[in-house]
Chains A and B, each alone.
Chain A
Amino acid sequence: MRWFTFFCIIVCISLTQTTLIHWINIGQAVPDLYFPLIVFYSFLTDMKRNTIANWFAGLSKDLFSDGYFGINAVFFVAIGLLLWSIRGILYRGHVVTQVTTTFIFSFMYNILYALHTTASFHSLRFFSTLWIIFICSLYTALIVPVLFWIFSKFQPTQKLYPHYE
Chain B
Amino acid sequence: MKQGLEDQVSLYKNKLLEQQDTIYKLESKLSMLSKFQAENKNSKTTLITADIIGYDTSNFRKSITINAGSKHGVKQDDIVISNNALVGRVTMVSKGSSVIQLITDPASRIPGRVVQTREQVLLEGNATAFCQLKYVPRWAKLKKGDDVVSSEIGGVYPPSLPIATVVETEMKGGALFQSVKVLPKVNIANIESVLVVTH
User: Can you list, as one digit per residue, whether each of A109-144 has a CB less than 8 Å from chain B (1) or not (0)?
Assistant: 010011001001101110011001100100000000
**In the bound complex, do residue B105 and residue A18 qualify as a contact, i.e. CB atoms below 8 Å apart?**
no
- CB of A165 within 8 Å of the partner chain: no
Contact A124 B58 (CB under 8 A): no
**A136-B58 Cα distance, complex, nearest whole Å:** 11
* A43-51, A65-73, A97-105 - the one binding chain B: A65-73
User: Is B33 in contact with chain A by the CB < 8 A criterion?
Assistant: no
Whether B57 and A65, one on each chain, are in contact in the complex, defined by CB atoms closer than 8 angstroms, is yes
Give the dominant DSSP class at A's interface: helix
**Contact assessment for B99 and A66 in the assembled complex, using a CB-CB cutoff below 8 Å:** yes
Residues of A within 8 Å of B109, CB to CB, are 123
Q: How far is the CA of A10 from the CA of B63 in the complex (A)?
A: 20
B106 near A22 with CB under 8 A, answer no
Q: Which of B63, B126, B129 contacts A66 (CB 8 A)?
A: B63
A28 within 8 A of B: yes
Partner of B61, one of A17, A66, A125: A66
B126-A72 in contact (CB<8A): no
Complex alpha-carbon distance, A19 and B54, angstroms: 5
Residues A132 and B128 in contact in the complex (CB < 8 Å), given A66-B99, A66-B105: yes
How far is the CB of A68 from the nearest CB of chain B, in Å? 10
B65 at the A interface (CB under 8 A): yes
Is the pair A65, B61 in contact by a Cβ cutoff of 8 Å? yes
A30 interface residue (CB < 8 Å to B): yes
Q: Quick one: which of A1-43 are within 8 Å of B by CB?
A: 14, 17-19, 21-22, 28, 30, 32, 34
Q: Can you list 16 A-B contacts (CB < 8 A)?
A: A19-B53, A22-B189, A61-B58, A65-B57, A65-B58, A65-B63, A67-B60, A117-B60, A120-B106, A123-B106, A123-B125, A124-B60, A128-B126, A129-B127, A132-B128, A133-B59
Q: Give me the interface of B with A, judged by CB distance under 8 Å.
A: 53-63, 65, 91, 99, 101, 105-107, 109, 124-129, 132, 134, 189
Supplied contacts A19-B54, A61-B58, A65-B61, 12 more A-B pairs, CB within 8 Å: A18-B57, A21-B55, A64-B57, A65-B58, A66-B63, A66-B99, A67-B60, A67-B61, A110-B59, A117-B61, A132-B59, A132-B127
